[in-house]
Amino acid sequence: MPAVVTLQPPGRPVRVLVLLAHPDRGHSRVNAHLQHHLSRRFAEPTAALEVVLRDLYSLYPDFAIDVEAEQQALARADLIVWQHPLQWYSMPALMKLWLDEVLTHGWAYGHGGHALAGKDLWLVLSTGGSEAAYQPQGYNRHFFDAFLSPYEQTAALCGLRFLPPLVLHGAHAIDTTALEAHAEVYAQRLASWPDWPEIADLPDCPACDTPAQDRPSARGSQP
The 3-state DSSP composition of the chain as helix, strand, coil percent (nearest 5) reads: 35, 20, 45
**For the chain, percent of residues with pLDDT exceeding 90:** 71
Q: Which residues contact 223 (CB under 8 A, 6 or more apart)?
A: 216
Confidence at residue 41, expressed as pLDDT on a 0 to 100 scale: 81
Strand, coil or helix: what is 190?
A: helix
Which has the higher per-residue pLDDT, 2 or 101? 101
Q: Which residues pair with 126 in a beta bridge?
A: 85, 168
HSE (CB half, 13 Å, CA atoms) of 93? 7
Q: Is pLDDT at 87 greater than 50 in this prediction?
A: yes
CA distance 139 to 166: 22
Structural domains of the chain ordered from first start: 4-214 (3.40.50.360)
Q: Which of 22-36, 52-66, 206-220 has the lowest mean pLDDT?
A: 206-220
Q: Is pLDDT at 107 greater than 90 in this prediction?
A: yes
Residue 1: which pLDDT band, with cuts at 50, 70 and 90?
Answer: low
Which has the higher per-residue pLDDT, 173 or 5? 173
Confidence at residue 39, expressed as pLDDT on a 0 to 100 scale: 86
Confidence at residue 3, expressed as pLDDT on a 0 to 100 scale: 66
Confidence at residue 12, expressed as pLDDT on a 0 to 100 scale: 66
CA distance 124 to 20: 9
Q: Is pLDDT at 175 greater than 60 in this prediction?
A: yes
